[in-house]
Amino acid sequence: MDTDSAMELIANGRRIGRERGLDVTVAVVDAAGHPVALARGKNWHGPYLAFGKARLAAAFRKPTGDLLEQWADRPLFAASLTSVLPGGVTLNPGGHPLLDADGACAGAIGVGGGRPDEDAEVARLTAEIWTPR
């Protein structure tokens, strides 16, 4: 994940959020979960939540909402990830992996600032229009 791609993702995520009346924070991480870029919305805690969602999506290569459904009967497993994964994770919808043309994970996007379903939609739509370089 390069900085130019991350900045494009952030611009698109913020635009999609605004179209829905949301002032979202958008974070982009590389495939290892390292921060690449961030644009903060109105909430002071937005960067923490958005980076945590992005890290979780990158670690498991799945949308965070799907992961939470998958782990619904294993809440202790999900809770353990908050201390296991470096940098911490956010156990909430709003993270989405970014797959390259070969289907490999190039990174992930995390969105915070709306309701969980709104964050998930903004992240998904942003990932869907992303064109890997």
Domain with residues 3-129, CATH architecture: 2-Layer Sandwich (3.30)
The residue count of the chain comes to 133
CA distance 25 to 128: 18
Q: What is the pLDDT of residue 43?
A: 85
Alpha helix locations (H) across the chain?
3-19, 46-60, 64-70, 75-84, 116-129
The domain ranges of the chain are 3-129
Give pTM, 2 decimals. Answer: 0.95
Quick check: 84 pLDDT over 90? no
**Per-residue DSSP letter, 19:** H
As a whole number of angstroms, the distance between CA 9 and CA 58 comes to 15
For the chain, the average pLDDT equals 95
